Structure formats: structure tokens, C-alpha cells
Amino acid sequence: MKTVRSIASLRENLASWRQFGETVALVPTMGNLHEGHMRLVEQARALADRVVVSVFVNPAQFGPGEDFATYPRTLDADRRRLTRADVDILFTPDVDAMYPGGIERSTVVRVPGLSDILCGAARPGHFSGVASVVTRLFTIVMPQWAFFGEKDFQQLLIIRTLVRDLHLPVAIEAVPTAREPDGLALSSRNQYLDDEARGRAPILFRALSACAERLRAGERDFRTLEREGLAAVSAAGAVPDYFAVRTPDALAEPAKTAREFVVLTAARFGRTRLIDNLQVRT
Ligand code: PAF
């Protein structure tokens, strides 16, 4: 596996592969790779001739007071894992390469509506930071496929929308959430939890599962389900941002006749904000 920092040298490698008609998959990450990321890499490896994994902690998607400075950076361990997974290129650009005009003066990609609700309401500017960096990664790498986890469900929909709107020739592949045995969704932020908070964190999965069960049993009073979800998360000592039953295509409020849902939640355990979701078909 090669580690490449510059866009120019990444493009040289890509051009030499394309000369031979080889296909390319991209797995965008912020590093600190865990089993969830490795599932994306495995699926990319199974589909494409060549796999590029980017590790870039994107300052544009962190708000003031968020964890940009302390976000875990573990490049050596990441490199070892990716080498074992037979990745072709680890792309680790620096901030100046990704935002040559400086972040404040750079072109912004924003998906209105979807970016302003749920996590977007709690983290203003977050999704335009995500959309702006993912668009750059797509135009730099020009992969046939790009892989994202369903854990960041709202992010996934925003990326699908920008790909459609900007006519980008990349297929977005979604990979199911990897979980601990007690249901906690894998996340780099889980390591911020102390033992006590780690013990409480599976409430997110339990509350989502209980809501999914009630939807499958025919409950269609979404307000009541949301209130029950919020109460369960609060009772476990977390501070919920939201607990919402939505449509899986647009995150809109579902009709009573709907058969497909996504239930999403975000909550703070002390200073650590965790998110999770479950898709439900009835
Ligand atoms: O999901 C993530 O890790 C990030 O939001 C992404 C997609 C790599 C963009 O920085």
C-alpha cells in the first residue's frame, strides 16, 4: 500500500490504473479506523480493482467547541490495518491541499433542507462541511463507487443528494452499521466514554429497537413513539438531542399509511455526543 499526501501524485497513480481500465472504489474516513470502517473497506475491495482510503480530519465539519483538536488521530495503526486489508492507496491530504484558498474563502457545497434538521439543527454548518469535503474527494479521486456507513444515515442521504444534484458519476454504496455485542454502534467517539457512560450508551440501540418493535406491531402514533424514545434515553442519564421517526428517503414525517421508516436518535453522554438509527420495514 502506498501512502500519498499530494493530490498530484494521487492523480498520477489513478491515471496509470485507468490506462489499463481498472476500476476504483473510494472509502472516505477521518481515520481512527475500527471494525465498522473495515467493513466498508472489505466491500470496496470485493467490488473494485483498486481501493483508495482517505484519512482526513476535516476541520470544516466541526463546529466551534467541538472535538476537532482532540479527535483521535492514529495514522500508524490505521496504516497497518489498511495494509492488511490490501488497500492500494492511503490518501492523507493536509488542510491546505483540500482547501487551497483557506477554509473560510473556499467553495461550499450545501444541501438545503436535509442539512438543517436533526443533526443539522444540533450542529449548524456540520453537513455543509461534510458535503464540501466529500465533493472534493469525489472530484479528486473520481471513483466508480464510494462507500459510507448507514450509522451516519442523514449524512448518507445528503451525499446521495449532492451526487444527484451535481451529476457526479459515482455510485454510493451504503454499508450496515457494525455494533458491539450489546448493540452500541461502533464509533470513534465511543472511546471518549468512561466506564459508567459506556455502560449506559447501549440505551440508544435499545430505545431504537423498542420503537422499531412498536412500529412493526402497527403503532402509528409517531409523536407518542418519539416521546417514549426521548424518555427512555433521558432515564438512562443521557441528554437527547432528538428521537425521531422519519421516512427513509427524505427524513420527512411519515404518513400513517407508510410501511418503511427510519428511527434516528442523537444524545449526549456527558461531553460525548453519539448517534444511531434503525431502518424498519413493516
Ligand atoms: O463519516 C465520516 O467519517 C466523515 O463525515 C466523512 C464522510 C469522511 C467526511 O469527512
- 81 band by pLDDT with thresholds 50, 70 and 90: very high
Which of 57, 127, 152 for a ligand 1 pocket mutation test, highest count of atoms within 8 Å of Cβ? 152
Alpha carbon nearest to ligand 1 atom 8, residue? 29
The three three-digit cell numbers of residue 13, written as one number = 497513480
- 90 band by pLDDT with thresholds 50, 70 and 90: very high
Contacts of 219 (CB under 8 A, 6+ apart): 225
Alpha carbon nearest to ligand 1 atom 1, residue? 29
pLDDT in tens, 95-116: 999 999 999 999 999 999 999 9
Does 60 sit in the ligand 1 pocket, CB within 6 Å?
A: no
Q: What's the mean pLDDT in 179-200?
A: 98
Q: What is the DSSP track for 181-199?
A: TTSPBP-GGGGG--HHHHH
Q: How would you write 88-156 as a 3-class SS string?
A: CEEECCCHHHHCCCCHHHCCCCCCCCCCCCCHHHHCCCHHHHHHHHHHHHHHHHCCCEEEEECCCHHHH
Percentage above 70 pLDDT, the chain: 100
User: What DSSP designation does 57 have?
Assistant: -
37 is catalytic: yes
Q: H or E segment at 168? A: none
- 246 band by pLDDT with thresholds 50, 70 and 90: very high
Give distance in angstroms: CA of 58 to centre of ligand 1: 8
